[in-house]
Amino acid sequence: MEGVVLPVRVTHGHTVPLLDWGAAFPHNYNFGPGGYSILSSIDCVKQQKRAMIGRYTKSDNAKGLTQVLTTLVPLALLWWAAIVCAGVSYWVAAAAIPLITLFTVRVFGLMHECGHGSLFRARGLNRAVGFLLGVVSGMPQYVWSQHHNYHHAHNGNWEKYRGPYSTRSVDEYAAMSGVQQCLYRQKCSIAAAPLAGFIYLIFNPRFTWLKGSLGLLSHVVRNKAARPNISLREHAASYETRQWKSAREYWHMFWNNIVLLSLWVSMCYACGTALFFSIYLLSLSIAGGAGIVLFTVQHNFEHAYASDSQRWDYDTGAIEGTSFLVLPRWLNWFTVSIGYHHIHHLSANIPNYCLVDCHDEYEHLFPHVTRVKLSQVYGALKCILWDTRAQRIISVAEYRQQSCVTGVA
């Protein structure tokens, strides 16, 4: 290949060879001793993934702390302003709720970063700040991060993980009654999102902890009476529940709830129960609903990659099973750039403040990443069925078209 000049791109002062030739030719070419072969976009990603991750998985404690402070301080000021303004007019206080909601979304996003250990370079900072942000957002951070890491390990494998709405396969949907199908569609709608947010951030974390704790107490008392010579620790260790998988998870749930419930009591005492819960329940429910919607449309969109275990590929899941959510710059700030989800799924160790630069430098690798604009979110939320035969996500409308064709045939 003498005399061949590789095309390059200068990005942020660095000269980057376009090894995939994607910017110069309609296909990607791999040149070797025996000639050349056409490479798929996924192959190109696999070839350059290590360099990409090595370049951008560099957490910065100062940047992480700055992000936390520019989130928690304004959030505290907004709460203070809402409480003070309530003495003048409840309508004035209500005007602060949209901003409180947006900052709560950002709190959850930063908590998510701590769960991946990417917001800070120091592990202790990720743990401590993650716990604090978990209290503010209502979610036991460590327990949540274990479930979320499972999602990352199986993204695109819909046999293993079906998303927050437990996406149904076409066969499962067909087996439902008409009422059940209607309820399923409504559950996945924008209108139901605040209710889903309430259940997700407020009800479930408290209910599962209380239910599990009462079960643990009953187990220990019952077994202590039957076998008094065994220690309480051993009795507790023998308890199995769906609410947690280890003692560490339980104690994170315990302290998250104790600190949060103490804050509830303090806020009720400081500003009144009705005022506090009116602002708190509204803002947290809407924030939770918004988070669920954002998460869903980044994996449920028209013809998203949805494989079974046998045919699943990790990088294909990141590129074809994850969308690039194109948001306004201000909304990218509140969502800590999670719209660049394809980068995040290639490596969860890339911190949010590096996602944009990483995408810009390696954009030539992502021609097949689905772009979803804000105006397209509503339509993407209708893609709630897993077509197990085509190995992709489809909408209810497409399912009905398929059913009509099959019925005619």
Residue-wise pLDDT for 184-209, tens only, equals: 999 999 999 999 999 999 999 999 99
CA-CA distance, 284 to 77, in Å (whole number)?
17
Confidence of residue 262 (pLDDT cuts 50, 70, 90): very high
Domain count for the chain, please give it.
1
* Mutual angle of helices 141-153 and 247-271, in 10-degree steps: 130
Residues 156, 316: contact at Cβ < 8 Å? yes
Confidence of residue 261 (pLDDT cuts 50, 70, 90): very high
Domain presence at residue 282: no
CA torsion, points 245, 251, 256, 258, in degrees to nearest 10?
A: 130
Task: Identify the pLDDT of residue 22.
Answer: 39
Task: Identify the pLDDT of residue 376.
Answer: 96
Confidence of residue 400 (pLDDT cuts 50, 70, 90): very high
Domain presence at residue 147: no
Domain presence at residue 35: yes
Name residue, tokens 């009720």: 268
Domain presence at residue 251: no
Confidence of residue 287 (pLDDT cuts 50, 70, 90): very high
Q: What's the average model confidence in pLDDT over 236-262?
A: 91
CA-CA distance, 347 to 352, in Å (whole number)?
11
Domain presence at residue 28: yes
| Residue range of the domain that includes 16 | 1-39
Query: What residues contact residue 14 under an 8 Å CB cut-off, 6+ apart?
Result: 361
pLDDT above 90 coverage of the chain, percent: 76
Confidence of residue 39 (pLDDT cuts 50, 70, 90): low
Tell me the per-residue pLDDT of 45-64, one tens digit each, with 9 for 90 and over: 899 999 999 999 999 999 99
Residues 297, 190: contact at Cβ < 8 Å? no
Tell me the per-residue pLDDT of 110-140, one tens digit each, with 9 for 90 and over: 999 999 999 999 999 999 999 999 999 999 9
Tell me the per-residue pLDDT of 300-354, one tens digit each, with 9 for 90 and over: 999 999 999 999 999 999 999 999 999 999 999 999 999 999 999 999 999 999 9
Q: What's the average model confidence in pLDDT over 133-162?
A: 96
Pairing of strands 371-373, 324-326: parallel
Confidence of residue 86 (pLDDT cuts 50, 70, 90): very high
Domain presence at residue 25: yes
CA-CA distance, 29 to 37, in Å (whole number)?
6
Q: What's the average model confidence in pLDDT over 5-23?
A: 42
* Mutual angle of helices 61-86 and 247-271, in 10-degree steps: 40
Task: Identify the pLDDT of residue 235.
Answer: 63
Residue of 21 and 239 predicted with greater confidence: 239
Domain presence at residue 145: no
Domain presence at residue 47: no
Confidence of residue 25 (pLDDT cuts 50, 70, 90): very low
- Does residue 17 surpass a pLDDT of 90? no
* Separation of first and last alpha carbons in the chain: 55
Q: How many CB atoms lie within 10 A of CB 101?
A: 23
Confidence of residue 175 (pLDDT cuts 50, 70, 90): very high
**Best CA proximity match to 86, nearest among 263, 264, 273:** 273
